[in-house]
Structure 1
Amino acid sequence: MPDSRPQPPRLSSSPSAPAGPAALLLCGARLTDGRTVDVRLKNGRIEAVGTAGSLAAVSVGTRVDLRGYLLLPAPAEPHAHGDTALSADVDGPVSFQPDDVQRRTTEAALLQLGHGATALRSHVCIGDAQGLGALTAVLRTRRSLCGFAELTAVAMPRVLTGVAGANGLAMLRDALKMGASVVGGCPDTDPDPAGYAELVLELAAEFGCPVDVHTDAGDPARLARLAAIAGGLRSGVTLSPCGGLGRLPAAAAARVAERLARAGVTVVCLPQGGCGAVEGRGTAPVRLLRSAGVRVAAGSGALRDVSNPVGRGDPLEAAYLLASRYGLSPEDAYDTVSASARAALGLPEVRVEAGFPAELLAVRGDRLASALSLAYSRIVVHQGRVVARTSAVREYSTSAAVALDLPRQGRAQP
């Protein structure tokens, strides 16, 4: 069975490593176009890509043998909930004491880093019982993870309109001043969803930050209104999980998709089960949205909390589900958790080419389709250095090998 905990890599140091920041050579990796290459990383970027063996003569600090691995741009996690993650087994109410939230957020981020996500966006509830304590803990986690993963926080008030919302609005302002970098929330929980959305967008424009709001509304007029008032925000607007779109008649959903595309809104779908009540779950119609020109990213949502006690937080599982259930090609499915997810987070593009950021994931396999279905062994690179490694070895018993006419010492490494 694979061990899901991130493990320190076993690397060999070169005695001729240069002074200053050490380079890293990834040897014999396979790319999705079929080439086998060496990739040299330095100063957090891809310095060179050459045919296998062509870069071996150049002195480097460390070498990683990637024979048998497929090398990909690293995925990103655009929809995490660190403040409630890993709380499904807790007896009684979930603790939002800052120390407990920081512990859960850190462990969740490391689990997701082990899966390959080198950047994460965590939605954090503010107000009510937790006040700003949970956000304080997530921001501390962000600082402690520096150099291992890039974590950003979304501040999520429950109510913003009317007398009841005055405190939430003041707290949202405080959250942005503290270091939350995205304005979020859930208009569906407010008595005035349109008023909530307008306040969120106004505040985002004032602070110059992006918006990422939850909505599962199946009301095309409400979604169209969100698209209309989002269109002028330069920092970008993300809606998730938009499962309600999948419950609309096809023609109505298509009209909403066209409005979202014109407004430049990104939709983050959650194919692993979402982050709300079970009865309200559903996945946005990803093919319809993509055909309308909407950028679609995929996130994991709940990670073993009350919303999804078996959530894995694995971007490759999200891509696998989009390919197996919703008809996306493996390439398009992986795009939702890598290039499109990074774009949704405002991060620079990653390609396995010289000059691009060294944010990479090596998965045992020779093609993307097989990597999505059997991606147990993984090596994760962030800012040009290996930050996590997960290894899995499958062995068959002697009796099974004899019965199936397999080599006695044969083994497969998924």
Structure 2
Amino acid sequence: MPDSPPQPSDGAPADTTTVVLCGARLADGRTVDVRLGAGRVEAVGTVGSLPVHGTRVDLTGYLLLPAPAEPHAHADTALTALAVRAAGEGPSFSAEDVQRRATEATLLQLGHGATALRSHVRIGDARQLGGMEAVLQARRSLRGLADLTAVAVPRLLTGVAGADGLAMLRDAVKMGAGAVGGCPDLDPDPAGYVEAVLNVAAEHGCPVDLHTEGDDPARLARLAAMAGGIRQGVTLGPCAGLGRLPAEVAARAADQLAAAGVTVVCLPQGACGGVERGGDQESAPRPGVERGIAPVRLLLSAGVRVAAGSGALRDLSNPVGRGDPLESAYLLASRSGLRAEEAYGAVSTAARAAMGLPGIRVEAGFPAELLAVRGEDVEGALSLAYSRIVIHRGRVVARTSAVREYCDSATAVALELPRQGRSDLGT
């Protein structure tokens, strides 16, 4: 994994304006001022100790955290559920439509706090490389707002039918895909599929991000053995099938993944359509199949790095997706029994590490990728994080202000959640 912060592929520079975040509360309970400059945290001091020579942002009543990241998005199919249902079958989306939806979905997730996103993008079949080009164009249009990385996802890579997919996979990387992936479970030769992906990754020096249900222990063991030692890193997700295996079998699989250095990206909202048997990423979930989640505590106890993502966003496989990292963290805390700090780490620290991004701390010298949420602690942030301020490369790129009104016949009281305070987010 790279030790230095990634440079924007579109040439967007870090913002050079000095920004001082005043009166922010940190997760350790301190209240501080934070000065940002040249895309990094320049200084952290007691309230009032840092001179304000640039923009001042009042964070009184806000908790300041490292920004989350989205390690498992599907920008090319995002926001298609209504159109697919209306058409009665998979409609053919133009490149312009894919670009528009990918941009809209990324901005939606940015507003929730994700300043870096990794999106799986299908190539081949009728779409060829059109979807990839559209998502890459969306990435360019979002310069300075969010960092969007595309993962090339071919359907087949083995046999005669897979020859075109393999050529297209190489072309996608040359176009600008930042990682290679796919779903080995859907290829007639899963081991051959993984081998082809790893070979392309080695040729181009890019990371690997594969879909798998993880419910075949022998196949998962082979995959872990093949992935072990890959310098660029291998990520698997959502691995929900591990939770359906006998405990001792799942524990052995977890040990194998840990030994191979594989990162698991779970999807607390449920499995994405990318691993539905016999369908594609726009297919509806199979009737009668309850979606689960990878056994997070088991994986963590085995030493596996576990990150969490949102997965599908309002397509047929998840028509009500929110694309909110804090929702993923909330579900990890409420369903998997993780402490609030651990759950938030899965969508921030671990998610960034899975994507090969540098770590973030509210300390001098670290990249200024931050999220301010109204509240006093992480537990409150995961419960009622309605008002948010998102900082990317040292500048405010998104603000959300939530106001709730309680009314009777004589009076209206406006409260900003989760506690009474000002409704403005002015600087």
Normalised by the length of structure 2, the TM-score is: 0.89
SS at match of 2:221: helix
Letter in 2 for 1:44: G
Per the alignment, residue 413 of structure 1 pairs with: 417
SS at match of 1:25: strand
**CA-CA distance at 1:209 after TM superposition:** 0.6
Per the alignment, residue 38 of structure 2 pairs with: 43
Superposed, which structure 2 residues align to 1:20-169 within 5 Å?
21-55=16-50, 58-90=51-83, 91-92=86-87, 93-169=90-166
Q: 1:206 and 2:199 equivalent? A: no
Per the alignment, residue 174 of structure 1 pairs with: 171
Letter in 2 for 1:125: R
Superposed, which structure 2 residues align to 1:283-322 within 5 Å?
283-322=293-332
| Aligned mate of 2:214, from 189, 213, 217 | 217
Q: 1:235 and 2:232 equivalent? A: yes
**CA-CA distance at 1:398 after TM superposition:** 3.0
| Unaligned 5+ runs, structure 2 | 1-14, 274-284, 419-427
Per the alignment, residue 400 of structure 2 pairs with: 390
Letter in 1 for 2:55: T
SS at match of 1:234: coil
Letter in 2 for 1:218: D
Superposed, which structure 2 residues align to 1:5-20 within 5 Å?
none
Number of equivalences: 387
Query: Does the 8 Å CA contact 2:191/2:223 hold for their aligned counterparts?
Result: yes
Letter in 1 for 2:227: A
Deviations 1:177-208 (A, max 9, x none): 11111011000110111111111111111111
Letter in 2 for 1:51: T
**CA-CA distance at 1:270 after TM superposition:** 0.3
| Aligned mate of 1:255, from 238, 252, 275 | 252
Superposed, which structure 2 residues align to 1:308-347 within 5 Å?
308-347=318-357
Instruction: List, as ranges, runs of 4+ consecutive aligned residues in structure 1 with deviation greater than 6 Å.
Output: none
Farther off after superposition, 278-287 or 66-75: 278-287
**CA-CA distance at 1:400 after TM superposition:** 9.9
CA RMSD of aligned residues (A): 1.4
Deviations 1:106-135 (A, max 9, x none): 000000000000000000000001100000
SS at match of 1:64: strand
SS at match of 2:81: coil
- The separation in 1 between residues aligned to 2:193 and 2:232, in whole angstroms, is 18
Query: Does the 8 Å CA contact 2:20/2:52 hold for their aligned counterparts?
Result: no
Q: 1:377 and 2:377 equivalent? A: no
Normalised by the length of structure 1, the TM-score is: 0.91
- The separation in 2 between residues aligned to 1:410 and 1:119, in whole angstroms, is 34
| Unaligned 5+ runs, structure 1 | 1-19, 402-407
**CA-CA distance at 1:172 after TM superposition:** 0.5
Structure 1 363/194 Cα, relative in aligned 2: closer, same or farther at 3 Å?
same
- The separation in 2 between residues aligned to 1:410 and 1:112, in whole angstroms, is 27
**CA-CA distance at 1:144 after TM superposition:** 1.1
